[in-house]
Structure 1
Amino acid sequence: MSAETRYEGLRVNWYLSVFELIDMRSFSNLWFWISLAVVWSSASHWILGVPYDMVLRAKRNGDQAMVDLEDMVRINSRRLLYIARVSGLWILGIGFFILSSLAILGFYYWIEFAQAVFLLAFPMSGVGLLSLSTARLIADVKPTGEELCQRLHRHRIWTQVIGMVSVFVTSLWGMYQNVSVGVLG
């Protein structure tokens, strides 16, 4: 056996070893699960574009921290409502198109990457609608102080509930995919 043939054999074995170690499928890939955790921890930390530690600081310290919180919530709520008013129908239409495409590609044609993206994007669209609803409620009622903190806390709780259900469903579907590929593959 020549040195070149041995080198080719080592190179093929190396590629096989790397691709066996780093599975390129979505649900068995560690990076998918890391991104799922980052998406949901970020979504529950940033409430209407306001970091939740700012809400806690405003509740604890009051005074200027509360004024800063009220200003930031007012600015972000107006911004969300402006975007919804100006281009909300376009965003809704494009969002439905993307989610429908992902659902068809993922669950009809069984493309695992589309399933993974759909299981990330669909619940996040629900959080987006929840944020829009909360922004509209804040703009209408104009809560201040403790009432505003309660409204933001309630929004965060519902975001976390959506996140927990989403992570649970995604985990079940991911385990099902990994077991079915392991049994069939």
Structure 2
Amino acid sequence: MDLLEIIYEMIDLRSFSNLWYWISLAVMWSSASHWILGVPYDMVYRARRRGGQAEQDLEDLTRVNVNRMLYIAEVSGPWIVALACFVLSALATLGFVYLVEIAQAVFLMAFPMSVVGLISFFTARRIARERAAGAELRRRLAFCRLCIQFVGTVSILVTAFWGMYQNLAIGAL
């Protein structure tokens, strides 16, 4: 086996049969459910148990990340939405109309993450509007995490079924 064959095997564009795709999918959803609005979720547990400085740290870090997210949305929100829509529609067209498997795989990762981005944005806006702190802030972050986990569960299920279908359909050819 020469070097080019090894490299080609490592960077296989048949994504659904590639172990690296499934590992990256698991890492992506694990990270998405741990980092809520840029705040590690263990800080929420620590703030609930200890209070005091841990609670203040949670509120400060959340405030910084919420303000950052809302500033980015205010300054370049329409451009981000336009670019995301273009990329997602290009991936969907390449993947599901022209049957490019790598585009299908990337779309099945990117589309749910755009939903997570919307959930995060609306949560950040609500936290800023209500000036949530203490138990209310922890509740908002917990609900945001629950929504993200729901999207992740549905996304993994759909991706797994689509990947199995693709592998069986290609294997039958």
- TM class, shorter-length: over 0.9
Shift of 1:23: 8.1
Alignment of 1:69 with 2:58, yes or no, is yes
Q: Give runs of aligned pairs for residues 113-152 of structure 1, distance below 5 A.
A: 113-152=102-141
What is the aligned-residue RMSD (CA, Å)?
Answer: 1.9
Q: Give the share of equivalent positions with the same residue, in percent.
A: 59
Q: Give runs of aligned pairs for residues 6-25 of structure 1, distance below 5 A.
A: 15=5, 24=12, 25=14
Structure 1 unaligned spans of 5+:
1-9
Structure 1 pair 135/23, CA: closer, same or farther in 2 (3 Å)? closer
In the other structure, the counterpart of 1:4 is: none
Q: Give runs of aligned pairs for residues 23-62 of structure 1, distance below 5 A.
A: 24=12, 25-62=14-51
In structure 2, what is the Cα distance between the partners aligned to 1:94 and 1:178?
31
Amino acid at match of 2:119: L
In structure 1, what is the Cα distance between the partners aligned to 2:8 and 2:86?
35
Shift of 1:144: 1.1
Structure label with greater radius of gyration: 1
Structure 2 unaligned spans of 5+:
none
* Match for residue 102 of structure 1 among 91, 95, 118: 91
TM-score normalised by length of structure 2: 0.94
Q: Which deviations, in whole Å up to 9, do the C-alpha atoms of 1:83-107 show, x marking residues without a partner?
A: 0000000000000000000000000
In structure 2, what is the Cα distance between the partners aligned to 1:109 and 1:176?
17
Moved over 3 A (4+): 18-23
Q: Secondary structure at the match of 1:143?
A: coil
In structure 2, what is the Cα distance between the partners aligned to 1:111 and 1:156?
32
In the other structure, the counterpart of 2:72 is: 83
In the other structure, the counterpart of 2:153 is: 164
Structure 1 pair 20/125, CA: closer, same or farther in 2 (3 Å)? closer
Shift of 1:19: 8.5
In structure 2, what is the Cα distance between the partners aligned to 1:123 and 1:157?
14
In the other structure, the counterpart of 2:172 is: 183
Q: Secondary structure at the match of 1:27?
A: helix
In structure 1, what is the Cα distance between the partners aligned to 2:72 and 2:9?
44
In structure 1, what is the Cα distance between the partners aligned to 2:10 and 2:127?
46
TM-score normalised by length of structure 1: 0.88
Amino acid at match of 1:67: Q
